[in-house]
Chain A
Amino acid sequence: METLWFAVVTLMLAIFIVLDGFDFGVGMVYPFVVRSEAEHRTVLASIGPLWNANEVWLIAAGAVLFFAYPRAYAAGFSGFYLALILVLWLLIFRGLALELRSHVDHALWKQAWDTAFTTASLLLAFVFGAALGNLIRGVPLNRDGYFFVPFWTDFQPGPEPGILDWFTVLLGLTTVSILAFHGANYLAMKTAGALYQRAVSTACVMGWGSAGCTALTVTAVPFVQPSLRLNFAGHPMEYLVPLSGIFALGSSLYLRHRRRDTAAFLTSSAFILLMLASVMFGMYPYILVSTTDPALSLTVFNAATDSYGLTIGFAWFGVGLLLVVAYQSYVYSLFWGKTRSDDAH
């Protein structure tokens, strides 16, 4: 049961990265692909009705983490205090930018929210990548099961790390490039004409950037967190997951160049899902690895709530998830296909 909820939380986070990831990506490539006000409107309308529900996957994943692993939620959220509050502020700005841009018909108003949208999307993608880096690298948990990391110390992933060190910065940049690629793929799928051409060429650049960054990250991981490699060495079959992830990235790049838009987007989604699944397999059973003493780490077993809670939760979560999948796919189907500028609200 503890393991099952670990899979649920990571799956929810992975869905969040795939779904909200494309609208983050759209935010990042936005200034590079749009030229006219009509194009601005088309791009925003392509994510307008969907981004909010995508973001809920993050909120719900946080809440499910709280419910299933209260100890990990408490330690993680207070330990990454500064980064999380920064995430909150950025989410507020990003949400406002998307909601408020159309309310006032004035060039300066629109420019201000466009800048806020791009900046917040970029920084959030970076912070989410750095957060993943922190989880892989580990944090200095104390005997009471808590820790606190400042933004940075000496930029080294040692026993007293900061949120930012060379490894987590690398993961941040990798995430930025992957989500920009993913977002440009989405835009290519949703647009036509000159906008489409620019989305495709941006996607190509970002796709090769993703490939380079991913190669660096995959090389760096075993040095920073050896236990990840040990986990894979113990279950060689699991190597299939990251390998198929890399295969998905390769296919996505190929399909991108062949202008198979939907297939390119689906394979970049698969790439993100498989890479996050690899991290999950590599980390299990750890949720938060301690850099000070491995025995202080929080695992899916010592951080979980009791068995009644996990079992009853499974009943309502199953029902809830079916409902969510049903109406979220319904809403997606309503907005399927190319977006036009007069779709804006």
Chain B
Amino acid sequence: MTSALLYDRLQFAFTATFHYLFPQLTMGLALLLLYLRSRALVTDDEHYQQVSDFWTGIFALNFGFGVVTGIPLEFQFGTNWARFSNFAGGVIGQTLAMEGVFAFFLESSFLGILLFRKRFSRRMQWVAALMLFVGSWLSGYFILATNAWMQHPVAYHVGEDGRVFVDSLSELLTNPWLFWQFTHNMTAAVVTASCMIAAVGAYYLLSGQYLPHAKTFLRTGVVAGAIASALMIFPTGHGNAKQVFEHQPVKGAAFEGLFTTERGAGLYLVGQPNLETMTIDNPIEIPNALSFLVYKDLYAKVKGLDAFPRDEWPDNLPLLYYAYHIMAGLGTIFAAIFGLALLSLWRGRLFNMKWLLWLLMLSVPFPYIATSAGWMTAELGRQPWLVYGLLRTADGTSPLVHSGNALFTLIGFLGLYLLLGLLFVFLLGKKIRRGPGSISPQAVSHA
């Protein structure tokens, strides 16, 4: 790999992963906020208004970081991946431009109302929350439509000059790949938001403050989290895995560390892929499980990596294998924790179970790790292709941006995003410490 290509890839991977820390909470929280604001509107209950206002504050903070880190992604297709943009612009230009026109304007216009919500009625605040939900989920839809096309190109033809053009916009927007990808991604976003809400609730309850709010947070977070984490595994996670094995079998084999084609292939829970011996070291394996999960047949044949030429293998196999296992492992743990918490909530015991509250409180970082690992699974697994089967990643870079320039900007992004990360954690902590229902200090001084 030339150093310019390496820096281009690192820069996109880093800026995209860092960016996605924010929209996942935005999208998940947008749904839960819509629920909370609906309750506030219907019941006319001051308690739900306070709960909504508290989470709107965190939503707005998070949204701001999402916006500023999102702009670089839209631009980087052109700056670092010019040959890809030129090649695929005739298709993905559609979805990206639609995102701008339909989602970004909607979100940014109504965010202003939510930020300056003190001037508006509860009904108007509810409308703004609805618009932000629609906008953020639409944005997710168009971006995933773009990514789904890169994973599974449909509705295109190759022009005389070798570039691709869209044949049917409706087929592009209903790419079969997109259905499972969208549902899986969105349920994961709801898990992130549920974890955040439940964790803040658990923190308040354990530290004995804002008790009524804490209980509402926990109830909302646990119920939403239990539903979403179950849906994340089945059917959405399962649906994704099945379509990978159907359309990208080499990626599926790499996920599972399946080096050789087998009948009755097992599922590795733990183990380290060894590229020297082409085996898994220290394996803990469920026999026949992979064959069953993919083909509903304990003895079905699953293609291993040996069935494919080496130059079509994902180029960072161990990282892909770990990313997939971290995602799937954490997903299973979330379902277990939220399932247990839901059961305890139903039995009326959750608020007294200190160890479970501790577990919920400490769970906050893990959905972020799981979603980042999930995207690494999707994107590393697509390698060596940028557009699956059509354009290799090495052929997508900007021809005249040399490694010195790419490294310069990569270092700049690393430094800048370190600062952003620190600022976000500091300000989030401040908002949580201030708590719901209190009035901000500057509002007092100018009242």
Contact = CB atoms under 8 A, between A and B. Distances in A.
Question: Does A pair with B?
Answer: yes
Interface of A: 38, 41, 45, 48-50, 52-53, 55-56, 59-60, 62-64, 66-68, 70-71, 73-79, 81-82, 84-85, 87-89, 91-92, 95-96, 99-100, 102-105, 142, 144-148, 305-306, 308-309, 312-313, 316-317, 320-321, 323-324, 327-328, 331, 334-335, 341-345
Contacts of A306: 90, 159, 165
Q: Which of A62, A66, A71, A306 is packed against the most chain B CB atoms within 10 Å?
A: A66
Nearest to A61: B100
Closest 5 CB pairs of A and B: A70-B89, A77-B78, A49-B112, A67-B93, A60-B100
B90 A95 contact: no
B112 A335 contact: yes
Interface stretch (B65-73, B275-283, B357-365): B65-73
Contact of A77 (B60, B85, B100): B85
Contact of A99 (B64, B430, B442): B64
For the residues of B in contact with A, the DSSP-based class is helix
B79 A84 contact: yes
B105 A56 contact: yes
B20 interface: no
Contacts of A317: 97, 101
A144 to B, nearest CB: 7
Interface string B45-88: 00000000000000011001001110110110111101101101
Contacts of B433: none
Contacts of B109: 53, 327-328, 331
B430 A104 contact: yes
Contact of A79 (B104, B400, B430): B400
Contact of A53 (B80, B93, B108, B169): B108
Contacts of B97: 60, 63-64, 66-68, 313, 317
Given A100-B423, A306-B165, A321-B101, A49 B71 contact: no
Given A92-B72, A96-B64, A99-B68, 4 more contacts: A62-B74, A74-B398, A77-B75, A103-B61
For the residues of A in contact with B, the DSSP-based class is helix
B44 to A, nearest CB: 23
Interface residues of B, number: 69
Given A73-B89, A100-B427, A144-B399, A52 B112 contact: yes
A88 B75 contact: yes
A96 to B, nearest CB: 6
Contacts of B400: 78-79, 142, 146-148
Interface in B100-127: 100-102, 104-106, 108-113, 115-120
Contacts of A55: 108
A66 B96 contact: yes
B104 A60 contact: yes
Nearest to A75: B82
Contacts of B101: 60, 63-64, 316-317, 320-321, 324
A66 B77 contact: yes
